Structure 1
Amino acid sequence: MKKLAQYVLAATLGITATYASADAISDAVKSVLRSSDAKSRDEYRKPQQTLRFFGLKPDMTVVEISPGGGWYTDIIFPVVRDSGKYVAAHFYVDESSSDYYKKALTAFKAKTEAGQVYEGATVSAFHPTKALDIIDAGTADMVLTFRNVHNWYMREGDKGIENAFGAFFNALKPGGVLGVVEHELPESADDEAMKKSGYMKRSYVVAAAEKAGFVLEASSDINANSMDTADHPKGVWTLPPSLALNDEDREKYVAIGESNRMTLKFTKPKS
């Protein structure tokens, strides 16, 4: 019945859909449900290679941290929709939250309603000090976070980072995977740069994960960009897609492309 409903939705949108694929990740990346603008960023975000590196499988229970508008959700959700479970640990919203957070959460939840693209997805909340129970303890096979660590550090400092990685450890089953993609600050840079640049040192991220109990299983240069020096006037937001300087040196920053990023795969020990 679920596949029939998905077929009807696809047909309504004018999509030719195949559900018996041997490669769910590849199909999701290529899907016509993804906008051309979203696909244009695959060059820098390498979603197919990144998700394969983390080991995403269709039967997994996956928690995506702070998915925003759903750039990665458009890929992850179709992969696990039929055989697994997708949980969006989205923005925590209360009376003090910004309009941006409120609107983003409302828009995302609308996509999970009957007949919409994320029908069947679960929405929980994550905040590094206010909302840490992202899923029932010990039930997730994989927790994924893309370019979020700097936000927690800039807003909540070391305590926010400690809480975040502790929450991810608590959410995962023994043997579960934590996948982290984050803007990378050179180890030679001053630690103070992490407070406002949007870049984080790999050593800091690894140490935080290990303190929570994780083991670094592997790292990858999938999302590396050697042209990024990580010392821009407005931090990482100087680069695409933000281009915070607007037309000032625009060609220079467009030529650099998106940021240099670490890609880290951690595991929760089985015992």
Structure 2
Amino acid sequence: MRTIVLMSTILLLAACRAGEDGAPEPQAAEPAGEEQAMAEASAPEEEAAETESEQPHADPLQSVLDAQPDEIQARFDARHPRETLEFFGIEPGMIVVEGLPGGGWYTRILLPYLGSEGELIAANYPLDMWPNFPFADEAFLENIRKWPEEFPQQTEGWCDGDCADVRTFWFGDMPAEVEGAADAVLFIRVLHNMAAFQNSGIDNYLDQAFADAHAALKPGGILGVVQHEAREDMPDDWADGSAGYLKQAFVIERAEAAGFELVDSSAINANPNDQPTTDEVVWRLPPSLSVPEDAENAEALRAQYESIGESNRMTLKFRKPGET
């Protein structure tokens, strides 16, 4: 039996390690006469060198990535944040909508990278979709209702200094002021649950999310999708999102139906080692490693899944038609 699991891991943001402050260099005796003149003549060059060393990092994205805590950097080889954000054309100062930020893995990177000239707009699953998850008891639902107010407060601990402002909305209830405001929308590993519930005939959650993304973007704005990818030869009723996987053709079809144009695709986040059977779900893989505790070979399964790595993922770049 396949179980839909939402794994939102809350990570603690470690403080960035500043450069070491060494002891002052021993000072030579004050030069006199010609030596003094030569020392004064060389001072502008020394001052220029010091000023240059104090300039902002020439590569702001790399500077942000280097400052991330170990827990975040541990997943760089599997999630390729630099390559992914560059592929989507994300730049400082942009207004970006991030779908289902969850525990904030990408949020922690985006906040300092977008900077105070930019803005992060977090979009969560529709509030009426959450009761469909089997783990969503009343206590959970009471807590998730507080998300619009609590998430911006939570992000305050994830970024210091030059950070993007944060606001929130539920898919299906997008504020009017968000319409046409965004430079980019990011759907990173968020579409499968909406597709699974939509395909069950509960509501059009997936189509609503694509419609909101289209409405939020400026003309010419970018929709970036990273999604667990099912092989095209897998059965459609397995690749409906309930196992975590969707087919690339299906995602493209739904995006184009919402008015988007496919610009490009990339193998940045592909993992050919991920070859699930119809009895397997995406959450068997890292970081979830969800294996039944009573399985006779639980340890061997975890080791096997750990060796596969994170899921095989499509990376698709769409554009909202129109002039920027």
Q: TM-score range by the shorter chain?
A: 0.7 to 0.9
* 2:271–2:313 Cα contact (<8 Å) kept: yes
Residue matched to 2:85 = 51
What CA deviation, in whole Å up to 9, does each residue of 1:208-227 have, x standing for no partner?
Answer: 11011100000000000011
Residue matched to 2:224 = 179
- In structure 1, the residue corresponding to 2:214 is in which secondary structure? helix
Distance 1:134 1:180, change over 3 A: farther
- In structure 1, the residue corresponding to 2:315 is in which secondary structure? strand
Pick which of 184-193 and 20-29 moved more. Answer: 20-29
Distance 1:134 1:89, change over 3 A: farther
Distance 1:117 1:90, change over 3 A: farther
Offset, 1:29: 1.3
Which has more radius of gyration? Answer: 2
Distance 1:58 1:120, change over 3 A: closer
What CA deviation, in whole Å up to 9, does each residue of 1:151-171 have, x standing for no partner?
Answer: 101123382221111110000
Pick which of 157-166 and 12-21 moved more. Answer: 12-21
Residue matched to 1:84 = 118
- Amino acid across the alignment from 1:184: E
State whether structure 2 residue 281 is matched by structure 1 residue 235: yes
Residue matched to 1:203 = 249
- Amino acid across the alignment from 2:182: A
* 2:116–2:164 Cα contact (<8 Å) kept: no
Offset, 1:123: 2.4
**Distance in structure 1 (CA, Å) of the matches to 2:55 and 2:74:** 24
**Distance in structure 2 (CA, Å) of the matches to 1:134 and 1:240:** 38
Distance 1:267 1:112, change over 3 A: same
* 2:114–2:164 Cα contact (<8 Å) kept: no
* 1:150–1:194 Cα contact (<8 Å) kept: no
Distance 1:52 1:92, change over 3 A: same
Residue matched to 1:225 = 271
Distance 1:67 1:236, change over 3 A: same
* 1:66–1:126 Cα contact (<8 Å) kept: no
- Which aligned pairs between 1:55-134 and structure 2 lie closer than 5 A? 55-90=89-124, 93=127, 98=136, 99-100=139-140, 102=143, 105=147, 108-113=151-156, 117=159, 120-127=164-171, 130-133=172-175
| Aligned residues with identical type, % of pairs | 37
State whether structure 2 residue 247 is matched by structure 1 residue 165: no
**Distance in structure 2 (CA, Å) of the matches to 1:207 and 1:134:** 27
- In structure 2, the residue corresponding to 1:270 is in which secondary structure? coil
Question: Which residue, out of 187, 190, 211, partners 1:145?
Answer: 187
- In structure 2, the residue corresponding to 1:252 is in which secondary structure? helix
State whether structure 2 residue 315 is matched by structure 1 residue 266: no
**Distance in structure 2 (CA, Å) of the matches to 1:78 and 1:215:** 29
Offset, 1:126: 2.6
- Amino acid across the alignment from 2:184: M
Matched residue pairs, number?
A: 256
Offset, 1:72: 0.3
Residue matched to 1:40 = 74
Ranges in structure 2 where 5+ consecutive residues have no aligned partner: 1-13, 20-53, 292-297
* 1:142–1:179 Cα contact (<8 Å) kept: yes
Distance 1:270 1:190, change over 3 A: same
**Distance in structure 1 (CA, Å) of the matches to 2:185 and 2:263:** 14
- In structure 2, the residue corresponding to 1:161 is in which secondary structure? helix
What CA deviation, in whole Å up to 9, does each residue of 1:38-74 have, x standing for no partner?
Answer: 2111111011110000001112111111101110011
* 1:166–1:212 Cα contact (<8 Å) kept: yes
- Amino acid across the alignment from 2:307: A
**Distance in structure 2 (CA, Å) of the matches to 1:30 and 1:76:** 13
Distance 1:73 1:220, change over 3 A: same
* 2:108–2:158 Cα contact (<8 Å) kept: no
Offset, 1:28: 1.3
TM-score, scaled relative to structure 2: 0.71
- In structure 1, the residue corresponding to 2:299 is in which secondary structure? coil
Query: Aligned Cα RMSD in Å?
Result: 2.8
Offset, 1:181: 0.2
What CA deviation, in whole Å up to 9, does each residue of 1:182-218 have, x standing for no partner?
Answer: 0000111111012321100000000111011100000
**Distance in structure 2 (CA, Å) of the matches to 1:134 and 1:236:** 36
- In structure 2, the residue corresponding to 1:63 is in which secondary structure? strand
Ranges in structure 1 where 5+ consecutive residues have no aligned partner: 1-11
Question: Which residue, out of 57, 62, 76, partners 1:21?
Answer: 57
* 2:122–2:169 Cα contact (<8 Å) kept: yes
